[in-house]
Amino acid sequence: MTDKAKTPANEMWGGRFEARPDQILEQINASIDYDRRLATQDITASQEHARMLAAQGIISEADSAAICEGLGRVLAEIEAGEFEFSRALEDIHMNVEARLKALIGEPAGRLHTARSRNDQVATDFKLWVRARIDGDIDALSALIAALLGQAEAGADLVMPGFTHLQTAQPVTFGHHMMAYVEMFGRDRSRLVDARARMNESPLGAAALAGTSFPIDRHRTAQALGFDRPAANSLDAVSDRDFALEYLSAASICAAHLSRLAEEMVIWSSAQFQFIRLSDQWTTGSSIMPQKRNPDAAELVRAKVGRIMGALIGLMTVMKGLPLAYSKDMQEDKERVFDGADALGLSLAAMTGMVRDMRPVPDALRAAAGAAFSTATDLADWLVRRLDMPFRDAHHVTGSLVKLAETSGVDLDGLSLQQMQTVEPRITEEVFAVLGVDNSVASRVSYGGTAPDQVRAQIARWREQENA
Ligand code: ARG
């Protein structure tokens, strides 16, 4: 035969091919530049597959031992940075197998029995995503701990609460921190849910239809830490829900991070001065010597774009794909890698900033009392003491706010006589409710901003976190 028979188009699948692929095909087809990040998962899954094949009598124990030992050497080479990745070998699966063949010879060819790259890649990728979910769960716990620390220190610290970013009612800094504890707590539970749902092994689904070899999918599932094998081979190789679910949970978490980041940007501005970030978490300007920029907070605010972009990108890849595997699905990995990296970095940066941030009590208190922030307390007092319907009390308070505004004072700057021109039944006692400390202390409803309520929530969280 020709030379081509001696140098097949591809050493893995080139049997029926005579010519090498076009160079552009090789370029568009290769995923090795990024899926090398699956090397550890690929090798671990292959070792378990080989052990199972031997236990089932499908390959010999000697071959299995040679494969497992050889794969260990391949991994060592990769970890040492000595491995030569080849684009012609497309992806991590074939790069590893080709190297295994070079190292151990014939037994390497038996590893791919009763398996396909389709179930292989689904397994590797799931293991990767699962490990990242575990890391993110821990990172969220660290962030929650940092927020609880700030909440405890700031349980009595009054600050303005906002709606529409307009001063609304006084709240406490601790209460504000605890709002984020709730949000990140939900993010963590979404990841826990996603992990439980995804934890089924695709390995052994083979190309799409299962295999005629007497494999033991329960064994490999268990060895790889899965709860069970995936029950439908077509679904097992074509399912990327785990990646989509991870990215959607990551997107919601990143959206939360962006909100806290935005508040840090606003709060650390010269106009607000509610918090200070140290030198460790701010940068200078190359032209304006006075500047202290919250770059990390701004970047955390921005990273949500990458993470949501990854979700939309992958959703678009998966939409309309017929069962089972299609090469389109190779486009899953870069999205998820990029989104996961962005989330991991954002969580670490946010935890660092939350630990670093120092609230400025005087500025918070001054702002808490400004802009008629206790107007609702005044209206509530009129309801309670004068038995006014709330709507009327709202109206009277509105007139008092207008009077204060035209007099150039805040509500507690009005004299009793001035107030009585609007509502003659008002007494001296009203001034007590106009103070911000009384205002927050009065909000004792469950989940409200009263320091005792906030402390109760902190205690509940602490107990749960330490359980
Ligand atoms: N590199 C491929 C991917 O990431 C592996 C699976 C290839 N399967 C195939 N039938 N060509 O999706």
Neighbour count for residue 366 (Cβ, 10 Å):
15
Question: How far, in Å, from the CA of 330 to the mean position of ligand 1?
Answer: 6
**Contact call for residues 157 and 170 (beta carbons, < 8 A):** no
Spatial distance between the Cα atoms of 400 and 402, rounded to a whole number of angstroms: 5
Cα–Cα distances in angstroms (integers) from residue 139 to residues 240, 332, 346, in the given order? 24, 24, 10
**Contact call for residues 436 and 365 (beta carbons, < 8 A):** yes
Atom of ligand 1 nearest to the CA of 333: 4
Nearest partner of 449 among 438, 461, 441, 437, judged by Cα? 441
Find the helix packing angle between 295-318 and 332-356, rounded to 10°: 160
Catalytic residues, by residue number, are 164, 285
Within 6 Å (CB) of ligand 1, which residues are found?
31, 35, 91, 117-118, 121, 325, 327, 329-330
Nearest partner of 125 among 41, 249, 44, 207, judged by Cα? 41
Question: How far, in Å, from the CA of 240 to the mean position of ligand 1?
Answer: 13
Spatial distance between the Cα atoms of 74 and 102, rounded to a whole number of angstroms: 10
Residues paired with 163 in a beta bridge = 166
Atom of ligand 1 nearest to the CA of 91: 1
pLDDT digits (tens, 9 = 90+) for 94-145: 999 999 999 999 999 999 999 999 999 999 999 999 999 999 999 999 999 9
Question: How far, in Å, from the CA of 115 to the mean position of ligand 1?
Answer: 12
Average pLDDT over residues 260-273: 97
- The residue whose CB lies within 8 Å of the most ligand 1 atoms, and thus the one to mutate among 27, 42, 91, 208, is 91
Q: Whose CA is nearest to atom 4 of ligand 1?
A: 330
Q: Whose CA is nearest to atom 3 of ligand 1?
A: 330
Confidence of residue 8 (pLDDT cuts 50, 70, 90): low
Average pLDDT over residues 199-221: 98
Question: How far, in Å, from the CA of 220 to the mean position of ligand 1?
Answer: 21
Spatial distance between the Cα atoms of 212 and 348, rounded to a whole number of angstroms: 47
Question: How far, in Å, from the CA of 117 to the mean position of ligand 1?
Answer: 6
- The residue whose CB lies within 8 Å of the most ligand 1 atoms, and thus the one to mutate among 42, 85, 115, 118, is 118
Residue found under tokens 């290769």: 30
- The residue whose CB lies within 8 Å of the most ligand 1 atoms, and thus the one to mutate among 28, 124, 327, is 327
Mean pLDDT of the chain: 95
Question: How far, in Å, from the CA of 64 to the mean position of ligand 1?
Answer: 24
Q: Whose CA is nearest to atom 7 of ligand 1?
A: 117
Q: Whose CA is nearest to atom 1 of ligand 1?
A: 91
Confidence of residue 289 (pLDDT cuts 50, 70, 90): confident
The per-residue pLDDT for 393 is 96
Confidence of residue 1 (pLDDT cuts 50, 70, 90): very low
**pTM of structure:** 0.93
